[in-house]
Amino acid sequence: MSTIRDVAKLAGVGIGTVSRVLSGNGAVSSKTLLKVNQAMGALNFTPSRAARSLVSKKMNTIGIWGTETSGEINRRTLREMEAELKEFEIHLIFADGELNSSKYPNASRQSFDKLINKGCDGIIIWGSDLPALEILQIENEFPNITLLNNKIELIDDKCFYFDHYQAGYVCGQHLIDKGHSNIACITGWLETDDGNQRHQGFLCALNDNNTNIPEELIFEGDYTYRKGYEGALSLLKQDKPFTALFCGNDQSAMSAIAAITNKGLEVPNDISVMGYDDMNIARYTSPPLTTVRIPFNRMAISATRRLLNLCYNLELNIEYDFPIQLIERLSVKKLYVP
């Protein structure tokens, strides 16, 4: 609990000098530097975050806002962000994601206001829970934000997103390339932008290959295990047979596989299944899951760094381009086409 004044007294210098040593800014002679460092060591001195924040008007804390902070992928990502911030002694806090803006129209603004005012220096908005207009308003009065997995043209330099449209296209094309023409799908959550994009990209790939997918074989999911399971059962009940199923994420793909298997059918012999995300478990399912890998960590790191640059006038490196990767395993089978 020693203060800068204790250090100054022990070292026989003024408090300004100690402060200079701490920040490394002003000029300090090597002799005094040594004295001060010794004193700090002897007193086990650590500067008070609170006092620093009070004068610097920086909380050295950034917040994350959004409901997408669940899911295995996202947790892995949070870890990476933590690591990135630790170096700068910045804290990461969550800004409750339960407040869904559609359910509580004003809740999001309120929780933002709280954060913005005194809680943290910047916010990473994860996902597209908030309407673009609202985000733009927020950005206007509070420019220290960064978007992760969301895209708004007007503030493109603060957006770190992935081309889900293209990835969806790759998935569709892959199933076509494997000889499938009767294809079903369980979409992601279509109320989110990325869920929509990957679905559109997927449909476009089919269309470009003169394959069309009947309405009955499109099941609207929401990324959960539950909808994956129910979706597969529902699709199987339709009259239209299909040989391949594209799912909006790995979770629904996994439970869809379970449903198919429980119905006595075999993956991939009867039905090929393709996922999206490449979760850890994807390689340990039965059969191992063909999926597409999103470089989520790199996106998150860049979003974090951009925010650090904004908040603390740093110039950390950032990337905006995130290539996808098709991961072929065994859940998609090549159809023999006569």
Residues that bind DNA (CB under 7 A): 1-5, 12-17, 19-20, 22-23, 25-29, 31-32, 45-48, 50-52, 54-57
**Interaction between residue 18 and a second copy (CB under 8 A):** no
Ranges of H-type helices in 182-328: 193-208, 225-237, 250-262, 296-312
Q: Which position among 23, 100, 110, 280 is part of the footprint of a second copy (CB under 8 A)?
A: 280
Binding-site partner at residue 19 among a second copy, DNA, none, CB < 5 to 8 Å by type: DNA
Q: How far is the CB of 34 from a second copy (least distance, A)?
A: 23
**Interaction between residue 119 and a second copy (CB under 8 A):** yes
CB-nearer residue toward a second copy: 283 or 334: 283
**Interaction between residue 46 and a second copy (CB under 8 A):** yes
Burial, 5: exposed, middle or buried (Cβ in 10 Å; 0-12, 13-18, 19+)?
exposed
Scanning residues 75 to 104, which ones bind a second copy (CB under 8 A)? 75-76, 79, 82-83, 86, 91-94, 96, 98
Q: How far is the CB of 146 from a second copy (least distance, A)?
A: 19
CB-nearer residue toward DNA: 40 or 159: 40
Separation between Cα atoms, residue 273 and residue 330, nearest integer Å: 9
- The secondary element (H helix, E strand) that includes residue 77 is helix 72-86
- The secondary element (H helix, E strand) that includes residue 51 is helix 49-56
Contact 205, 173 (CB under 8 A): yes
**Interaction between residue 54 and a second copy (CB under 8 A):** yes
At a CB cut-off of 8 Å and minimum separation 6, what does 43 contact?
Answer: 2, 6, 7, 10
**Choices 129-137, 189-197, 284-292, 306-314 (CB under 8 A): range interacting with a second copy:** 284-292
Q: How many CB atoms lie within 10 A of CB 185?
A: 28
Separation between Cα atoms, residue 231 and residue 217, nearest integer Å: 10
Q: How far is the CB of 242 from a second copy (least distance, A)?
A: 19
Ranges of H-type helices in 128-275: 132-141, 164-177, 193-208, 225-237, 250-262
**Interaction between residue 133 and a second copy (CB under 8 A):** no
The encoded tokens of residue 122 equal 């910047």
Q: Which position among 72, 191, 208, 319 is part of the footprint of a second copy (CB under 8 A)?
A: 72
Contact 241, 183 (CB under 8 A): no
Binding site for a second copy (CB under 8 A): 46-51, 53-54, 57, 59, 61, 70, 72, 75-76, 79, 82-83, 86, 91-94, 96, 98, 114, 117-119, 225-226, 228-229, 251, 254-255, 257-259, 261-262, 280-281, 283-288
